[in-house]
Amino acid sequence: MCAEHNGKRFAEQLVEVGMQIGWPTRLVSFGPDITAAVFAAGFAIRVGFTFGGIGPGEYRKHLIYNKDRCFAFAMPLGYVTDEWYANALGCVNFGFPVIADTPIPEILPTGVCTYEHVVSNVPHDKIVAKAVEVRGLKVTVAEVPVPVAYGPAFEGERVRGEDIYLECGGGRTPMVEWVTSKRMEEVEDGKIEVIGPEMTDVPAGSKLPMAIAVEVAGREMQEDYEPILERQIHHFINYSQGLMHIGQRDIAWLRIGKQAAEKGFKLSHIGSLLHAKLHQDFGRIFDKMQVRIYTEEDKVKEIVEKARAVYGARDARIEGMTDETTDIYYSCTLCQSFAPSHVCCISPERTGLCGSYNWMDCKAAYEINPTGPNQPVEKGECLDAKLGQWKGVNEFIYKASRQKIDHYNFYSIVYDPMTTCGCCECIAAVLPLCNGIMTVNREYTGETPCGMKFTTLAGTIGGGLSTPGFVGHGKYNTCQRKFIVGDGGIKRMVWMPKMLKEEIAERLKARAEEVGVPDLPDMIADETIGVTEEEILPFLQEKGHPALSMEPILG
């Protein structure tokens, strides 16, 4: 602190309003004149001497050290004289930006400082956040502010029927999770809003629709990073004792247990824990984040629509890339907390079975966190081009599954298919009588021709096993060119729920044309035709479904 305003020193102004000053509060007055600002700069130089080991006379090193390591800024409050401005520019020379509350000339291009040099006319209620932003400070929240125990130990914990206080999603109500990036001024760091009923407004055993909308902003933030942040929501919520989270995107499913509710857990805490954890683990790529949690049906449906458009655009980025064009695939072991031997291996033409991670996303995730769950996998020698098996991949999954799985095929459901975890968007199953396969999406709760509903299928094969005859896959993957191509590809598809067929209609039509069976979508049976093999077979025969004339699927 230095200088005065209308004859009253900075320190005197603070004392007058009862504020404690001095070293304990780090509010230290250096003198009544603006020239005393030099003492603060003198302190900064000592930092370089003491901690940086920089010697006398090495002015360039001192200035660079201060710019990179000493997170200081100058904040002229009130009328800025020419002399003040000159002193402020002296600070800029150290790499310390100037944040003013009056309309002094701004110097916005970057160069000497990390970001802008002089930012002015900032209202007082925004000035702290602005200083943090312009100086490039990173927010870290050391403790996750939730009233329940929190940590990876609670991941994988189940909340069962009679223990449920609140349930959202899982096919019972709509639920969606969406991370999107915004401009810096559109995001207020740490702002958490619950729009609609809170936990405390509903009795135990309730169901609510839910949209978790996370908005982030940052100078390093890229659209490519959004899915990576979004996928963390699953894990970070699961770290809370008494909460269970499954799925992602618009098929998420959340249960909050009665014990968590008794301890005071509320929906707003989901925002708080996401704010804390995402800052802790991904603060390098964004600077600010706010969270809105909607529990009103109309609003949730609106977010679902918006998010779906974005999911579509994200998925489409991978179009055009083929597995042959890259030597590197990416692993994903995020789901090992639920399915310990499960290792997804993601190639351009086989997106993650949860639907949230494609090859591009994994590549971006690896860039952000080189020691994280998405590692590059050199596919190495091709052992089976038809079924999709590579030596390098096998070696990787053997290690990553802790010696549980030593190989799998990317393009087959019949012969050693890829492992499946409980997050999958769809599960495909062989239908021997129809000489084809069916697939069922998580949202469809009815019976299927393989004799099992989605939940039973997920419970049976979703533990990280490779189960011949069954495989988990993403919705998008259904129309990718390599989808079970080792067993005959999309021409084997004989049944899928109507809702799924409608959802992927456009891409299914294009893929059907590509394989020379343009009428395929109309030949695929759904629940309106039947839910047993016997019921759908006559329909397939009548339509002349190509699967019926293909070689036997079970060899």
Residue 368 found at the interface with ligand SF4 (CB under 6 A): no
Nearer to ligand SF4, 173 or 374 (CB): 374
107 beta partners: 118
Q: 243: closest CA among 140, 169, 143?
A: 169
Q: Give the orientation angle of helix 37-50 with respect to helix 82-93, to 10 degrees.
A: 10
Taking CB under 6 A as the binding criterion, the range among 178-186, 221-229, 351-359, 409-417 that sits at the site for ligand SF4 is: 351-359
Contact 422, 338 (CB under 8 A): yes
Q: Rule CB under 6 A: choose which of 54, 251, 274, 353 binds ligand SF4.
A: 353
Given a contact cutoff of 8 angstroms between Cβ atoms, the answer to whether 510 and 455 are in contact is: no
Binding footprint of ligand SF4, residue count (CB under 6 A)? 12
Name the minimum Å distance from CB 343 to ligand SF4.
7
Q: Does 421 bind ligand SF4 (CB under 6 A)?
A: yes
DSSP readout, 396-449? Answer: HHHHHTTTS----BSS-SSSSBPPEETT-SEEEEEEGGGTEEEEEETT--S--T
Which span (86-94, 110-118, 285-293, 332-340) binds ligand SF4, by CB under 6 A? 332-340
CA proximity to 478, closest of 509, 435, 443:
509
The least distance separating ligand SF4 from the CB of residue 256, rounded to whole angstroms, comes to 22
CB of 430: closest distance to ligand SF4 in angstroms?
A: 21
- Chain positions 219 to 238 lying near ligand SF4, rule: CB under 6 A, are 231
Q: What angle do CA 470, 474, 477 make, to 5 degrees?
A: 95
Contact with ligand SF4 (CB under 6 A) among 332, 387, 458, 484: 332
At position 243, the amino acid (one-letter code) is L
Residue 471 contacts ligand SF4 per CB under 6 A: no
Residue 223, CA distances (Å) to 183, 287, 309, 311, 317 in order: 12, 14, 14, 12, 12
Residue nearest to ligand SF4 (CB): 352
From candidates 334, 400, 450, 461, binder to ligand SF4 by CB under 6 A = 334
Residue 221 Cβ vs ligand SF4, minimum distance, rounded to whole Å: 21
Least distance in angstroms from the C-beta of 330 to ligand SF4 = 9
Compute the least distance from the CB of residue 439 to ligand SF4, in Å.
16
Say if residues 107 and 33 touch (Cβ distance below 8 Å).
Answer: no
Q: CB 482 → ligand SF4: shortest distance, Å?
A: 16
Q: What one-character DSSP code corresponds to residue 350?
A: B
Using CB under 6 A as the binding rule, whether residue 352 contacts ligand SF4 is answered as yes
> Could you give the CA distance from residue 13 to residue 28 in angstroms, rounded to a whole number?
13
> Least separation, in Å, of the C-beta of 157 and ligand SF4?
17
The answer to whether 344 contacts ligand SF4 (rule: CB under 6 A) is: yes
Q: Which residues bind ligand SF4 (CB under 6 A)?
A: 231, 332, 334-335, 344, 352-354, 356-357, 421, 423
